[in-house]
C-alpha cells in the first residue's frame, strides 16, 4: 500500500517535470542570421529538425542578407543565436564584438557547416565561349559579380580571381592588374550574391561569378544557364556558429546540421559536404561526379595568409587593394 501511495505521489511530479521541459522547448525561438543564398537548404534542415527530440517545439526567426552587412548587424545587437555567414572574416567581426567565442574555429569541422567553390554561370549554349578566368577579361564580356564591401560572395570572387592569376604564373602586380581588368568588365555590382544572381537571371550580363551552390539552387528553381567551374578555383568554407548566450537548442541544431543525413541534404542541394564520406553513397553518385571539378586553393594559402591579413590587404576601406581597383574602374568604394 505504501508503495502504491508513493508511486501515486511521484507520478504527477514526473509528468509535471516532463511537461515543464516540453513547455520550455515549446517556448524556444532560435534567431538564425545568415548570408543571402542558403535559405532553401536551411528551410529543409529546419523542417526536419522540428521532427527530432532536440528540435521538437523549437521555432526559428530567420534573417538573410549580405554576409558583411549581417555580421555588422549582429555586432550592433541584432538578436542572434545561430550565425551562418559566408566568410570566416564575418564570424571574426562578430567574435571581436564579444558575441561569438574567438575560439569558434576549434569547434567540430573548424566551425564550417558546408563548402562550395567560386564558379561561373553563363548563358545557355555559352555564346561567349567562357571557360576560364582569362575569358572574363576579354573585350565585350559583361561580368556580373556582387559588391565586395558588403558581400562575402564578392570577396571570395576577388580572391579567387587573384589566386588563379597567381597560380597561372603572374606576379602580384600583374595579378592585381588582372583583377582590375575583370572589374572593368563588371556591368553590375549588387549588394549580395543573391541579388547579383537575380540581376543575371533577369537578363543582364554574359557571366555571373557566384557560389557553385547558388548556381545549383538557381537551376533547381528553373533558371536557365550553364555552370562553368574554372581551374583552378577557390574553396569557399561556410561557417555556422552559435553565439555565447544562445540556448542549448542552437548547439543542437548545428550538431544536427553536421550529421550525415543532413550533410547529404547539403550535398544534394549543391553544397560540398564537410562530412566527405556521405559522397560515397550510391544516391549521391551524380553529385560526387559534379563536385570532381579540379584543383582548388583556400584562404590559408600562402598567397593570402588567412582572413585577418586578407582583410587588411584587400578590403580595408582606406588603403585596401579593392578600394583602389574600384576607384580605377568607377565602381563602389563605400
Angular region, 203: left φ>0, alpha ψ -120 to 50, beta rest:
left
The tally of CA atoms less than 13 A away on the side-chain side of residue 269 is 19
What's the pLDDT score for residue 6? 40
Distances (CA, A) of 268 to 217, 260, 271: 10, 12, 7
Q: Are 115 and 212 in contact (CB under 8 A)?
A: no
Contacts of 267 (CB under 8 A, 6+ apart): 273, 278, 279, 284, 287
- For the stretch 17-45, pLDDT in tens is 444 344 344 579 999 999 999 999 999 99
CA 244 – CA 283 distance, rounded (Å): 38
Phi, psi (degrees; rounded to nearest 5) at 56:
-65, 125
Percent of the chain whose pLDDT exceeds 70:
92
Distance, CA of 188 to CA of 208 (rounded, Å):
10
pLDDT of residue 8: 42
For the record, the C-alpha cell of 299 comes out as 584562404
DSSP 51: T
Please check whether residue 190 is in contact with residue 87, taking contact to mean a CB–CB distance below 8 angstroms. no
Can you give the pLDDT at residue 318? 94
- Residue 169 CA: distances (Å) to CA of 70, 153, 165, 172, 320: 36, 25, 7, 10, 23
The chain-wide mean pLDDT, for the chain, equals: 93
Q: What is the mean pLDDT of residues 108-133?
A: 98
Distance CA 306, CA 206 (A): 32
Maximum separation of any 2 CA atoms in the chain, in Å: 94
Please state which CATH class domain 27-114+236-290 belongs to. Answer: alpha beta
Q: So what's the pLDDT on residue 17?
A: 43
With H, G, I as helix, E, B as strand and everything else as coil, classify residue 186.
strand
State the average pLDDT over residues 263-268: 98
Q: pTM score, two decimals?
A: 0.90
CA distance 56 to 47: 10
Strands 207-211 and 112-122: antiparallel
Residue the block writes with cell 553529385: 287
Question: What pLDDT does 333 receive?
Answer: 87
Per-residue pLDDT tens over the stretch 270-287 = 999 999 999 999 999 999
Intrachain domains 27-114+236-290 and 115-233+293-329 with the same fold? yes
Q: What is the dihedral of CA 110, 114, 228, 311, to 10 degrees?
A: -40
Give pLDDT tens digits for 142-182: 999 999 999 999 999 999 999 999 999 999 999 999 999 99
Alpha carbons 166 and 173: distance in angstroms, whole number: 10
pLDDT tens digit string along 213-256?
999 999 999 999 999 999 999 999 999 999 999 999 999 999 99
DSSP per residue, 163-185: HHHHHTT--HHHHHHHHHHHHHT
Q: Would you call 236 helix, strand, or coil by DSSP?
A: strand
pLDDT confidence of residue 27: 75
At 56, list the grid cell. Answer: 521538437
- Where do the structural domains in the chain lie, given as residue ranges? 27-114+236-290, 115-233+293-329
In the DSSP assignment, the letter for residue 138 is: S
Q: What is the pLDDT of residue 3?
A: 45
Q: What is the CATH number of domain 115-233+293-329?
A: 3.40.190.10
Please give the residue that has the higher pLDDT: either 14 or 185.
185
Q: Is 105 exposed, middle or buried (0-12, 13-18, 19+ CB in 10 A)?
A: middle
- With cell 585596401, the residue in question is 320
Q: Report the SS3 class of residue 107.
A: coil
Looking at the predicted structure, is the pLDDT value of residue 140 above 80?
yes
Tell me the pLDDT band of 64, cut-offs 50, 70 and 90. very high
Amino acid at each position: 500500500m505504501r508503495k502504491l501511495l508513493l508511486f501515486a505521489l511521484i507520478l504527477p511530479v514526473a509528468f509535471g517535470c516532463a511537461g515543464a521541459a516540453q513547455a520550455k522547448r515549446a517556448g524556444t525561438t532560435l534567431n538564425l542570421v545568415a548570408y543571402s543564398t542558403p535559405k532553401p537548404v536551411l528551410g529543409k534542415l529546419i523542417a526536419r529538425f522540428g521532427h527530432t527530440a532536440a528540435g521538437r517545439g523549437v521555432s526559428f526567426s530567420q534573417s538573410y542578407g549580405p554576409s558583411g552587412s549581417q555580421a555588422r548587424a549582429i555586432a550592433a545587437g541584432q538578436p542572434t543565436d545561430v550565425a551562418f555567414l559566408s566568410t570566416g572574416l564575418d564570424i571574426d567581426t562578430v567574435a571581436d564584438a564579444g558575441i561569438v567565442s574567438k575560439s569558434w574555429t576549434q569547434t567540430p569541422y573548424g566551425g564550417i557547416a558546408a563548402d562550395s567553390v567560386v564558379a561561373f554561370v553563363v548563358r545557355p549554349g555559352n555564346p561567349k565561349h567562357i571557360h576560364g578566368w582569362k575569358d572574363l577579361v576579354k573585350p565585350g564580356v559583361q561580368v556580373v559579380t556582387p559588391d565586395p564591401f558588403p558581400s562575402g560572395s564578392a570577396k571570395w570572387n576577388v580572391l579567387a580571381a587573384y589566386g588563379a592569376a597567381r597560380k597561372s604564373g603572374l606576379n602580384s602586380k600583374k595579378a592585381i592588374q588582372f583583377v582590375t581588368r575583370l572589374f572593368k568588365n563588371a556591368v553590375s555590382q549588387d549588394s549580395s550574391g543573391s541579388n547579383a544572381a537575380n540581376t543575371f537571371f533577369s537578363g543582364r550580363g554574359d557571366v555571373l561569378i557566384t557560389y557553385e551552390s547558388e548556381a545549383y539552387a538557381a537551376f533547381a528553381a528553373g533558371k536557365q544557364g550553364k555552370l562553368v567551374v574554372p581551374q583552378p578555383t577557390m574553396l569557399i568554407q561556410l561557417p555556422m556558429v552559435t553565439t555565447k548566450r544562445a540556448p542549448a537548442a542552437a548547439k543542437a541544431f548545428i550538431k544536427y546540421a553536421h550529421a550525415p543525413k543532413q550533410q547529404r541534404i547539403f550535398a544534394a542541394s549543391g553544397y560540398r559536404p564537410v562530412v566527405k564520406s556521405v559522397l560515397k553513397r550510391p544516391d549521391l553518385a551524380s553529385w560526387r561526379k559534379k563536385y570532381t571539378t579540379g584543383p582548388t586553393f583556400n584562404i590559408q594559402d600562402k598567397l593570402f595568409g588567412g582572413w585577418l591579413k586578407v582583410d587588411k590587404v584587400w578590403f580595408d576601406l582606406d588603403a585596401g587593394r579593392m578600394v583602389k581597383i574600384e576607384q580605377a574602374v568607377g565602381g563602389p568604394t563605400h
